[in-house]
Structure 1
Amino acid sequence: MAGRAGQQLVFLFDENMPARLAHALRGLGERCVHVGDPGIGLNNTPDEAVLAYAGERGWIYVGRDHRILHRPHERAVLKQWEMGAFFLNQSLNKSLCSITTALFRNWPEMKRVAASQPRPSLYLIRETSVRALPRRRLGNEDEHGRRQQG
């Protein structure tokens, strides 16, 4: 499935996501990488740098950390690179089984929206569905957290 301008979709799993899950999807032929994979080496890297790494490559971010949406400097990276990002619903953060079940159940929809929806875009992965988050979650602040006009 192609993303922007025919580019293949690649999903980057943050270190707060199970590496085994990204590897399992890759074993099934999906284009998934984990921040800790050889050649990536982004373990223990600030979220802002992980997001920039994915954004520079046109990759889709997958993670658990909703706090990214509350940090102006991290939201700015999502906007700057016009990224697609998926965040696990907090109720799924309980076990590897619930995370795996939700991700596999929603994978076809995640690929569809990542390939077809304009970016920047934010999505919440729920137990049985993927829900778009309002673009206003990206905020309208500058890098210092001040509200911009317009």
Structure 2
Amino acid sequence: MNVFFDNCTSPIFATTLHGFVQHQGHTAVHIRDVAALPNGRHSTDLEWIDLLRKSNDQWIFISGDGRVLRNPAERAALRSAGLHGFILAPAYQKAPLNQVASILIWRWPEILQITNLLQAPSMHEVPINKSAKLRALPI
């Protein structure tokens, strides 16, 4: 499993999660570290979605911006790319980076379970409250 973090997330999240999951054969990367993107970190959502779609690897993405679901072109691209997406709830914007990173690690088993049980495409919101369940979002 490969995890892609977009520009609406801190690179710290990708490095932290990667350190936690790499021994299980998974990887986590931030958009700034993906050399194959035509405009690097400044690539549009449609560009990184297309890159993940064309990859032979299994990808999920994590974003801090739920607007990706409100843009018709991006929403259509996500559906056709067959990705599992996880949107961080708005409360994450005000949370310290160390807390957000710890919650992502806390949620990792749940994220894996969803990607194994559900057929892509799917979209879920990741609540900041550890006792709350991931919430399915319409795609």
* Structure 1 residue 19, shift from structure 2 partner: 0.8
Which ranges in structure 2 are unaligned for 5 or more consecutive residues?
Answer: none
Provide Cα deviations, 1:35-85, integer angstroms capped at 9, x if missing partner.
111534530111111122222224111101111100000001111111110
Q: How many residues align?
A: 127
Distance in 2, matches of 1:40 and 1:108, equals 29
SS at match of 2:86: strand
Which ranges in structure 1 are unaligned for 5 or more consecutive residues?
Answer: 1-8, 139-150
Aligned to 2:104: 103
Of 15, 19, 23 in structure 1, the residue corresponding to residue 15 of structure 2 is 23
Q: How much is the aligned-residue C-alpha RMSD, in angstroms? A: 1.6
For 1:36, give the aligned amino acid. R
SS at match of 2:8: coil
Distance in 2, matches of 1:124 and 1:23, equals 21
TM-score by length of 1: 0.77
Flag the structure with larger Rg: 1
Aligned to 1:90: 90
| Alpha carbons 1:84, 1:120 under 8 Å: kept | yes
Distance of aligned partners of 1:24 and 1:122 in 2 relative to their CA distance in 1, 3 Å threshold? same
Q: Does 2:43 match 1:45? A: yes
Higher fraction of helix: 2
Aligned to 1:32: 28
Provide Cα deviations, 1:97-120, integer angstroms capped at 9, x if missing partner.
342232122111011111221111
| Alpha carbons 1:102, 1:125 under 8 Å: kept | no
* Structure 1 residue 122, shift from structure 2 partner: 0.3
Aligned to 1:4: none
Distance in 2, matches of 1:115 and 1:52, equals 22
Q: Report sequence identity in percent.
A: 25
The within-5 A match list for 1:1-150 is: 9-28=1-20, 29=22, 30-37=26-33, 39-41=35-37, 42-57=40-55, 58-95=58-95, 96-127=97-128, 128=130, 129-133=133-137, 137-138=138-139
Aligned to 1:141: none
| Alpha carbons 1:93, 1:99 under 8 Å: kept | no
